[in-house]
Chains A and B, each alone.
Chain A
Amino acid sequence: MSVHPIAVTINGKAEYLEVPAHMTLLQMLRDRLALTGTKNGCEAGECGACTVLLDGQPVNSCLVLAVEVDGRQVVTVEGLAQDGTLSGLQQAFIEHNAVQCGFCTPGMLISSQALLARNPSPDEDAIKEALLGNLCRCTGYGRIIQAIQDVARGGGAS
């Protein structure tokens, strides 16, 4: 086992850590930094609950080694609100009742955020393509689609 020093920016804050080679980014976030908003649902890249932004792109943090993020930018659900103000997506998820048990919600928000960054006005098919890898067992997904469309239309907090 090798241990590696890394420097990584997480939610805008510089972090310096020593991580074992086999530690995943998910384990680093949850176990080392107590950023527990990112969830562990399968450790196989199938459920999407651990989705974070890596240099702006959504990835399954269970499929990324912590050592790989040296020098890079990570955004987790804890980084979506700015100075205590919810993002448009967070607000829309609340207002559309797009949240039930909440376990998929952090990953859903991250994938949605990334979608709107690359496509500010996605149609329903584009939303489905973007969120295909985020499983939800509660909501039936419809409210999540509505919340994203609301933000895309500029509604957000309406």
Chain B
Amino acid sequence: MSGLSTVGKSVLRIDAHDKVTGAAVYADDLQFGPGLYYGRLVRSPHAHALIIKVDASRALALPGVKAVVTGRDTPTRIGLYLKDRTIFALDRARMVGDPVAGVVATSEEIAEEAARLVEVKYEELPAVFDPVVAIQPDAPLIHPDLGEYEVVPFIFPQPGTNISEHFKLRRGDVEAAWPRCAAIIEGTFRLPPIQHVPIEPHVAVALWELSGQVSLWTCSQSPFAQRDLIAQSLGIPHGNLRVIAPYVGGGFGGKAGVSMEAAAVAMARAVKGHPVKLRMTREEEFICTTARQSLVANIMIGCDDQANLLAMEVAYYFGGGSSNEYGVNIARAAGYSCTGPYLVPNVKGDSYCVYTNTPIGSAMRGFGMPEIHWGIEQIMDQLAEKVAMDPAEFRRRNCVKTGRTILTGMEMPAIDLVACIDKVTQAIQWEKRPPASAPHKKRGKGLAIMWKAPAMPPNPGSSAMVRFNEDATVNVEIGAQDLGQGAFTVLAQIAAETLGVPYEWVRISVPVDTKYSPYEWQTVASRITWSVGNAVRAAAGDARQKILAVVAEHWHEDPADLDIRDGAVVSFKSEREQPLQNMVVYGLPNDDFEGWKGGPVVGSGKFMPTYVTNLDFETGQGTRAVVHYTVGAQAVDLEVDTETGQVEVLKIASAYDVGKAINPDLVLTQIEGGAVHGLSSAYEAIRLDAQGRPLNANLVDYRIATIADIPREIHGDIVETPLEDGPWGARGVGEHVMVQTAPAIANALYDALGVRFSELPLSAEKIFMALHGS
């Protein structure tokens, strides 16, 4: 800790004052004046259908309607990793809610009425909702043109099937290892699609000016990726498309990549000169933006009689929804991390992303990891039981450790997962099993561990600029977004620490605006503290060097003898002091004012990982599959009402190895919020009827955790094993905090009830029925 003045301190959030006063501006809060038009989308009522004809004549006749846009206006495909969809459905609707047309009118009310007047003639096709059914040879083909789609080099679609990605992991020889196993557990685990449910639904406002300049204001985790993808799809020069992203009211991956924003831009093109606002109702947010993919996981794991893991064979079938443009990389990430946080010498893994006629599966907090850990972490408990070892000890023995070779052939970067296990077992009093509070209740404890790597292309870049003002306050320009996770605060701390100025002097230049903000790939993958942190540190370091050079010259000293402390340059040698005020803009006068030196100080910096290597298509082996992993553990203490099946979680204890907590209390707020998000996720499911129509696209029947559902106690611990290339050793933790909560609950339920649950959600009904048979 020595020498750090801001990093490692729990300074207060830089954005909190705006947010408690209502001053914080979100996309829907922006004011555009009376010229603003509104859009509404016409959506397919069918899960799979050919679009025979779109007749907008009645809609266009309605007073106030300005334009109707259809798939014919947006024929160029769009997508992050696989360009597999058009902004409006062109010839085929692939899910209930697929946008078929967009209506622009002078009010949202008129646009809504007009949207109901657009007549679409469909020819229904057979639909498929389950990924395992969708891979059968006779399944309806959802993307017959898959072979023509543009795709990044590390994703492998299988044209002629519904498989958009197949990742293969082959290590050792599983067939030879099975006979050597003393215990083998096999299971099939299922997870339904769930939704992010940010409290802020998606909203976008687009303006296509007559000059060809295009602006998009939207709640976005990915302003630069949106600029890139929309520019490509609609033929806009990147320099002409400006994406402005004010505060985001919760993202969780749902506002990453592109979803409805592109439609707003396409609709704005039809009414040049007028901004067009498109906002999702809560009902649309549930099924028409994006969701977490469903998963069917077949998992078999074996260990020897000393509890050493020997072999693992998995097949993951992700139900990717109607478009897998982002979801393909979830299946890939699940593939190269398919063992979970364990050292397994023999592995056969197959991970598939599969088209289904369901809401679009895309990035969600955890990016494939909550899905695969659901099964893995339950099987590890079963194996431990079979070889009569404490589940915590079983995990300590087999979990990934620094320097050991993991499934892809990569050497595990520095982490301490055992310390995380130790922390949570201590916090939950793992050795003690107190009785339940009533005769009709049963109590149990469960443990689960996790890992997750940032899942992204090998070379996602970050950049930052640092500019000084006359009074030595500092503007830090970044393209990263604060979704609530505290990125702006942490980046301000990093700038302050590097520059040697008080935290209070730092301003983050927001809203992020692709016209003025430096490039950022996306605010995803828990990569901001690490990647943007490095870029800000580099930019601040650059500014610092420039300041020191000027002052050193002024004092005729060596810059190496100078430092910036608390906003002033100091010399260790001469003990002189030069406040930063004014000199960071005006420079310093030479002796006797014979000229000047220095000038406005601007620092720039960037960070991009350069060391991630290709993985072999047949084996998934390579030198460096990912940049790093963050690991953690959770333990749960719960009580079940055996007469109703209702579960009360008494305590969740979590510990994560974050490398270095730049702001420890903000790390804890992620840990606490993530535990509740993870708890909630165990009870959530998007439900569709047999025709693929939503049954619970509202907050009444899709319930997220309320304040009454939280555990009585939420405990968090921070482990700090520095990451080689993280700022002060920091690595990300935003997503990891909910990855293993559901299996930890399942393991605690088994401890309490002696019953296993292989399928989410864990409704009270399901638990009651499992307890009492049929």
Q: State the Cβ distance, A92 to closest chain B Cβ, in Å.
A: 9
| A137-B250 contact in complex given A97-B669, A100-B673, C-beta closer than 8 Å | yes
- The CA-CA distance from A33 to B672 in the complex, in Å, is 37
A149 at the interface (CB under 8 A from B): no
Whether the pair A142, B704 counts as a contact (CB closer than 8 A) is no
**A34 contacts across to B, CB distance below 8 A:** 31
Q: A44-B698, A100-B484 are in contact. Are A105 and B673 (CB under 8 A)?
A: no
Q: Does B152 contact A (CB under 8 A)?
A: no
Q: Is the CB of A103 within 8 A of B200?
A: yes
> Total interface residues on A, using CB and 8 Å?
53
Task: Tell me the interface secondary structure of chain A in the complex.
Answer: loop
Pair A135/B699 contact, Cβ less than 8 Å: yes
User: Does A155 sit at the interface, judged by CB under 8 A?
Assistant: no
Which chain A residue lies CB-closest to B252? A137
Q: What's the Cα separation between A39 and B197 when bound, in Å?
A: 15
Among listed B500-508, B606-614, B707-715, interface-contacting one: B707-715
A46 CB within 8 Å of chain B: yes
Question: Hey, which chain B residues are within 8 Å of A103, CB to CB?
Answer: 26, 198-200, 249-250
Least distance between B700 CB and chain A CB atoms (Å): 6
**A141–B17 CB distance below 8 A:** no
Taking a contact as CB atoms under 8 Å apart, the answer to whether A95 and B699 are in contact is no
B20 and A86 form a contact (CB under 8 A): yes
Q: How far is the CA of A100 from the CA of B490 in the complex (A)?
A: 13
Most chain A CB neighbours (cut-off 10 Å) among B197, B198, B199, B200: B199
Digitize A83-94: 1 where CB-to-B-CB distance is under 8 Å, 0 elsewhere: 000100010011
A28→B113 CA distance, assembly (Å): 21
Residues of B within 8 A of A131 (CB): 707
Does A70 make an interface contact (CB < 8 A)? Answer: no
Shortest CB-to-CB span from A39 to chain B, Å, is 7
Contact of B21 among A41, A78, A132, A143 (CB under 8 A): A78
Contacting pair A90 B665 (CB below 8 A): no
Q: A37-B23, A39-B199 are in contact. Are A94 and B17 (CB under 8 A)?
A: yes
Tell me which residues across on chain B come within 8 A of A109, comparing CB atoms.
20
* Inter-chain contact A37/B707, CB cutoff 8 Å: no
Report if A74 contacts B (CB, 8 A): no
Set B16, B23, B28, B251: member contacting A40, Cβ < 8 A: B28
Selected interface stretch from B225-233, B308-316, B674-682, B760-768: B674-682
Q: Does B282 contact A (CB under 8 A)?
A: yes
A-B CB contacts (within 8 Å), total count? 166
CB distance from B722 to the nearest CB of A (A): 24
Residue of B nearest to A103 (CB): B249
Residue A53 at the chain B interface, CB threshold 8 Å: no
- B17 with A41: CB separation less than 8 A: no
Nearest chain B residue, comparing its CB with the CB of A81: B21
| Chain B CB within 8 A of A76 CB | yes
In the assembled complex, the CB of B737 is this many whole angstroms from the nearest CB of chain A, namely 9
Q: A78-B22, A81-B21 are in contact. Are A101 and B674 (CB under 8 A)?
A: no
Residues of chain B contacted by A43 (CB below 8 angstroms): 281-282
Q: With A and B bound together, what is the CA distance between A44 and B698 in angstroms?
A: 9
Q: Which of B709-733 contact A (CB under 8 A)?
A: 710, 714
Question: B290 CB to closest chain A CB, in angstroms?
Answer: 15
- From B16, B17, B19, B198, contact of A137 by CB (8 A): B198
Which chain B residues have a beta carbon within 8 Å of chain A's beta carbons? 12-13, 15-26, 28-29, 31, 196-201, 247-252, 281-282, 483-486, 665-666, 669, 672-677, 698-700, 704-708, 710, 714
Q: A95-B12, A97-B13, A140-B674 are in contact. List 15 more A-B contacts (CB 8 A).
A: A34-B31, A38-B22, A41-B249, A42-B282, A43-B282, A47-B199, A78-B22, A80-B21, A94-B13, A100-B486, A101-B251, A102-B247, A102-B484, A137-B252, A142-B672
User: 8 tightest CB-CB pairs across the interface, nearest first?
Assistant: A37-B22, A103-B249, A101-B484, A102-B19, A100-B484, A140-B676, A36-B29, A46-B699
Residue contacts A-B, CB under 8 angstroms, 19 given = A30-B28, A42-B201, A46-B698, A46-B700, A78-B21, A78-B22, A93-B16, A101-B484, A102-B19, A102-B24, A102-B247, A103-B249, A127-B707, A132-B706, A135-B699, A140-B676, A143-B669, A143-B672, A144-B707
